[in-house]
Chain A
Amino acid sequence: MKKVFTRPKSLKRNTFHYCPGCGHSIAHRLICEVIDEMDLQDKAIGVPPPGCSVFAYYYFDVDMVESAHGRGAAVATGIKRAFPEAVVFTYQGDGDLAGIGTAETIHAANRGENITSIFINNAVYGMTGGQMAPTTLAGQTTTTTPYGRDTVLEGHPIKMSEILALVEGAAYIERVAVNSPANIRKAKKAIQKAFQVQLDKRGFAMVEILSPCPTNWKMSPVEAWQWVDNEMTRVFPLGVIKDITSGENAD
């Protein structure tokens, strides 16, 4: 019988600790599928952050090093510059990449570091219990915006992909979501592209993944998937935001 679906080689046989309906496990699996298909397992070095995905090294069967909060792009820069043969990716949440790590992220992009960032945007600080993230939507209730995020007092949801697209060294920026089979397929293509850009030494690549967090959004998994479509994508529209390779390839 022909095998049509199996566990990716670079995904360890450990049970995910993520909540039901969480987007992390889908994002992990997609990255692992891409690592397998592009034959990167023995060259890849992953840099997970503090947060829900701090245990990513229990799932990815590639070399990994934990980064301090927000410093993923700087750690990845050090790895890549000292060992350019490595294929380096960071895996960062919204508090990490869009809050405490904005400087590291923007400057790594501006230097055109040949690294791939996977940016999980779920509009809350997940592991610490659902506080306001830099990407929390206007009006969204979190534990630190109990009256809803008031943009006058608490600022606006920050659009990192659009910001990074303005940075000269950024080669490829796409925003995807992991809330439907069609979106998941698009997300995988984007991740693949973001690794290819690194292999081709074109510069900084980032895939922003809109990812449901039913636990902290206080929704069922199905409601959370719908909320991504109905609310999040209105503020964070899906699609390619920057691609310097666009039009270069016939495919």
Chain B
Amino acid sequence: MAKVLMTGNAAIGEAAIRAGCQSYFGYPITPQNELTEYMAANLSRRKGCSFIQAESELAAINMVYGASLVGVRAMTSSSSPGISLKQEGISYLAACELPAVIVNMSRGGPGLGSIVAAQSDYFQATRGGGHGDYRTIVLAPSSVQELADLTHKAFDLADKYKIPVIILGDGILGQMMEPVKFSHEVPAELPIRSDALRGAKGRPSKFIRTFTSDPVQLEEINWSLFRRYELIKKDETAYETFLVEDAELVVVAFGIAARIAKGAIRTVRAEGLKVGLLRPITLWPFPDEALKELVKGVKQFLVFEMNMGQMLEDVQLALEGKGEVSFYGRPGGVIPTPSEVARVISRLYYQKGLNR
């Protein structure tokens, strides 16, 4: 198909439908309403599909839990304060090993915060988010095209690993329009998972639960989850590098911040500074190995985020004290310009004597 011009939020909706998403449950919150509206217009009347504007984010995530249980591809979306409310359900999905796709078009916080783009939900997204020992796969797109591609991938990963997958975008990505091409058609037959709970017809009854009064049994459940997480780390870590081959300084940034950083890097490159970019595409699993490889040749790293330094900790952990890590961040929904970031990069470059 040809490219079409769409907002990021609408592109997620279209990509989800083309991935065979049958159930969408949402609740209004800025800046992701275009996605709920897209699903109301394009999914709600589709045969075999269901759409509900729920009474709360809590209800929406629990509807996803019910729909996932009966084996359909299910999705919900929200923005930061609403994602906090969904954490209860995400913990249950993780515990029950139920696939689901959860979109966070994040905004400034804490509290009600602002309605503009921010990246301050990194900790929440990558550390599980709710109670208990668990992880979710976290995908961080940086363009509308990538939002569409990763939405499809999110459903595949969720099914493959029986895990909730978070798409961590932000208010800019959700609301800006870009040309996008969808590589999949809507499947003729909507997929139903073979392990679904759909009534005990022709088989013994089954139950899915998270509660057990036996700590040893619960420990085994945790171990089994983490064995799967190791597989995900091994096989699904994704990142992009940009101009790192000869770089003296590498900027590490994700999502929309990486897009801004790319602009800044082009500017400083034109002035002869050897600067590259590492952009994690999966925030969990985090691309530790890519950093460990880079630090063999690069000694200076600049982490740039639209928060007070959250991914910064993962970069420091991955580098294990090797190299030197600086940080530049703007919290609260302030969106730095490429020229601002270029100034930060070049100041650091000269301060560290990399021009010599």
Contacts and interface: CB of A to CB of B under 8 A. Distances in A.
Interface of A: 41-45, 47, 50, 54, 57, 60-68, 71, 74-83, 85-87, 103-104, 106-107, 111
Nearest to A56: B207
Given A45-B197, A82-B72, A103 B59 contact: yes
Contacts of A77: 52, 59, 63, 66
Interface string B194-209: 0001111110011111
Nearest to B208: A65
B54 interface: yes
A82 B209 contact: no
A61 B205 contact: yes
Given A61-B200, A65-B208, A78 B23 contact: yes
A65 B200 CA distance: 13
Given A61-B200, A78-B23, A107-B55, A67 B62 contact: yes
A41 B63 contact: no
A interface SS class: mixed
B206 to A, nearest CB: 6
Which A-B residue pairs are the 9 nearest by beta carbons? Answer: A78-B66, A57-B207, A78-B63, A74-B62, A82-B67, A81-B50, A107-B55, A83-B70, A42-B201
Contacts of B7: none
B183 interface: no
A44 B199 contact: yes
Given A62-B199, A75-B69, A83-B198, 6 more contacts: A41-B200, A60-B205, A66-B209, A79-B67, A81-B50, A81-B63
Contact of B199 (A43, A54, A67, A107): A43
B59 A82 contact: no
B190 to A, nearest CB: 10
11 contacts: A42-B199, A44-B199, A45-B70, A61-B205, A63-B198, A63-B205, A64-B208, A74-B65, A80-B66, A81-B67, A82-B67
